[in-house]
Amino acid sequence: MTRRLVGVLLTALLCSALPKAYASVTAALSNTRIATGTTVQLTLTYDGLTTSEPQLAPLRRDFDILASSSSTSVQFGTGGSAERSQVILTLAPKRTGPLTIPPLTWDGEHSAPLRLTVSGTGRPGTGTAAPIFIVSRTRPAAPYVQAQVHLTVQIYTDEQLYHASLAFSGDRAVLVKHTGADQYGTVVRNGRVYRVITRRFVLFGLHSGRISLAGPVLKAEVATQARTSPWSSNAFGGFFGGLMQTLHPIEVHGDPIVLSVRPRPSGARGRDWLPAQSVTLSARWSPRSDSVPAGDPLTLELDLKATGLTAAQLPDLVHRLRTPAGVSRYPDQAQLQNVPAGTGILGSRTQTIAFIADRPGHYVLPALTVHWWNTRTDRLERVTLPAQTLNVTPAAAGSAASRPAPPAVAPSAPPTPATAPAPAAAPQPPTTGARRVSAWQWLAGALALLWVATLAAWFWSPRRRPRQRPAPPPAPRREARPDSAAERTAFHAACARNDAPAARRHLLGWMSGAWNVPATSLHPLFAAGLEPHTQTLLQDLERACYGGGSWAGLALAQALRDLPARPTGGRAERDTLPPLYP
């Protein structure tokens, strides 16, 4: 009896292990040779019983997984039941050439490797044609550090694109800005007619040396024709079936963007580093006359423009103006603006300063010089505002500054008989002192009676007056609005000494004062349309405040010279490719 029980248990154990023993994983590709810009389907099949998922991490080195689906089936036969699990993946190759689908592990079992060839770029001189591909061009080939680089991205397609978007952004080494509007056209390549979408960017290398940036990525959907079954519910298929249009995702990668960034030349060291194509500096005084009364403001508006630089790269000119003694200056917050200029960008920094002198005199504002590096001629140049003389005149009569103090009044002596005027010319005698005293006595008595009557009414009013409602609680006292200019200065000072908690505290105060709303977190800044590079620096600040560790604030101070406009709500729009065909 005991032997029979042991035999039954061993048989059960062997039967339970049979599905695992005969389990296997197979992999199959829908095509072994595809053109760039197209996708391929990989089908993984697990024969046996499993509750796990395949490990797909090795695929991500050379492929993007755009879509996936899974299914499980059970087949019954004379020998019992057999289970089968399938996973179907839509893969987009990241590069051309021969690729390998590596062995994939699923519940301890491994699939065999597969070979895939990705060919055809569609570019001139290749002799092949791909349905969709990306071409990128940069100029100049060797830019200076922080100088503008023109990037042109062209998307070639002979298929209709749906839900298309172009992803391309910088990192800590490169600042990327989209400029201008998209352009559309057609071109013939290798006997095929392509629609071409052109988008332009400007890049700024933030440090010298070789910089490699991931190329642009096009994500879209294209239509495919699939024959329907005659038994489907499609009303347009007919009895013999028909064609149904479906969409499947694609993902096309452009070549990496490689920059060879030159360092600052020796002739520009120790001076302003503004690598631009042109720089202008203009000034406008208000009032236009250089003569102003003492105590009145004289306003100077400085406008610095640079072709090939962003507004954030332009220097603050307020601290470079040496104000003469006796004159106070009151700068306003700078206005920054970036506008497209041809295929590049034009940065503008406008700053207004009010000068006030309390005393008249002649005051001289020294000349203001800005050095910049001409990237066209490859030499150092400068723009200069000449010295300005302020003529401050005495304050106008009647003003508080010019009104003299009233003289002391001395008692007049009675006229002597020798100098007394004739009776006929004497004025009417004034009111006598006795009459004035009498009038004041009557007024004092009336006021005393009124006070007594008020006292009596107040004494008897509680007995007849109904109970009054309690007074409403006092309104909550509004918090004082922080000084945005002072908080901005304190923020940059904290960044200069790499004090992350102080920088975050003063940045919140700067936001509260500039936007006139209490700021308790930095999340509104991320919704205000900041550059990706600036958002990364803000994340580093948050990480340093809450996670600890060292933090360098110079890059954030340079990137966040001024706050953007207060966000009105909603998420920032994605950098999407539509409208492709307006």
Task: Give the mean pLDDT of 391-396.
Answer: 82
Helices then strands, counting H and E runs in the chain, come out as 7, 29
Model pLDDT, residue 421? 41
pLDDT at 236 > cutoff 80: no
Token look-up 């028909």 returns: 242
Phi/psi at 429 (nearest 5 deg)?
-65, 140
Distance of CA 305 to the CA centre of its chain: 21
Cα–Cα dist 505/491, whole Å: 8
Cα–Cα dist 122/156, whole Å: 9
Higher pLDDT: 279 or 542? It is: 279
Give the CB-side neighbour count of residue 221, counting CA atoms within 13 A: 9
For domain 21-119, the question of CATH label 2.60.40 is answered with: yes
Cα–Cα dist 124/278, whole Å: 36
pLDDT at 82 > cutoff 60: yes
Q: Are the C-beta atoms of residues 166 and 216 closer than 8 Å to each other?
A: yes
When mean pLDDT is compared across 138-152, 251-265, 439-453, the lowest value belongs to 439-453
Q: Are the C-beta atoms of residues 344 and 290 closer than 8 Å to each other?
A: no
Just give the CATH number of 132-228+240-261: 2.60.40
Task: Give the mean pLDDT of 101-126.
Answer: 79
Task: Give the mean pLDDT of 137-145.
Answer: 92
Higher pLDDT: 346 or 408? It is: 346
pLDDT at 402 > cutoff 90: no
Confidence of residue 398 (pLDDT cuts 50, 70, 90): very low
Sequence-distant contacts of 270-274: CB under 8 A, at least 24 apart: 271/371, 271/380, 272/315, 272/370, 272/371, 272/372, 273/146, 273/373, 274/306, 274/309, 274/313, 274/314, 274/315, 274/370, 274/371, 274/372, 274/373
What pTM value is reported for the model?
Answer: 0.56
Query: So where are the chain's domains?
Result: 21-119, 132-228+240-261, 269-393, 484-559
Cα–Cα dist 245/435, whole Å: 112
pLDDT at 503 > cutoff 80: yes
% of the chain surpassing 90 pLDDT: 28
Model pLDDT, residue 233? 42
Q: Are the C-beta atoms of residues 330 and 298 closer than 8 Å to each other?
A: no
> What is the per-residue pLDDT across 193-219, written as a single tens digit (0 to 9) for each?
999 999 999 999 999 999 999 999 999
Confidence of residue 267 (pLDDT cuts 50, 70, 90): confident
Distance of CA 483 to the CA centre of its chain: 23
Higher pLDDT: 103 or 16? It is: 103
Task: Give the mean pLDDT of 103-131.
Answer: 76
Model pLDDT, residue 102? 92
Model pLDDT, residue 461? 57
Model pLDDT, residue 48? 79
pLDDT at 437 > cutoff 80: no
Model pLDDT, residue 276? 95
pLDDT at 547 > cutoff 90: no
% of the chain surpassing 70 pLDDT: 73
Cα–Cα dist 293/287, whole Å: 11
pLDDT at 42 > cutoff 50: yes
Phi/psi at 292 (nearest 5 deg)?
-145, 140
Higher pLDDT: 35 or 399? It is: 35
When mean pLDDT is compared across 34-48, 58-72, 446-460, 507-521, the lowest value belongs to 446-460
Model pLDDT, residue 257? 93
Q: Are the C-beta atoms of residues 173 and 291 closer than 8 Å to each other?
A: no
Model pLDDT, residue 49? 76
Task: Give the mean pLDDT of 333-348.
Answer: 90
3 state SS of 318:
helix
**Dihedral (Cα; 145, 540, 535, 537), 10-degree rounding:** -30
pLDDT at 429 > cutoff 50: no
Task: Give the mean pLDDT of 410-424.
Answer: 40
Task: Give the mean pLDDT of 35-58.
Answer: 85
Any idea which fold 269-393 has?
Answer: Immunoglobulin-like (2.60.40)
3 state SS of 347:
strand
Token look-up 């600052």 returns: 264
Residues 6+ apart with CB under 8 A from 421: 415
Same topology between domain 132-228+240-261 and domain 269-393: yes
pLDDT at 146 > cutoff 80: yes
pLDDT at 21 > cutoff 50: no
**Among the listed residues 59, 68, 71, 70, the one whose alpha carbon sits nearest the alpha carbon of residue 90:** 68
pLDDT at 166 > cutoff 50: yes
Cα–Cα dist 128/189, whole Å: 9
When mean pLDDT is compared across 51-60, 426-435, 467-476, 501-510, the lowest value belongs to 426-435
Q: Per residue in 13-36, is it b (16+ CB within 10 Å) or e — as a string?
A: eeeeeebeeebebebebeeeebbb
When mean pLDDT is compared across 61-70, 125-134, 146-155, 569-578, the lowest value belongs to 569-578
In whole numbers, what is the pLDDT of the chain averaged over residues? 77
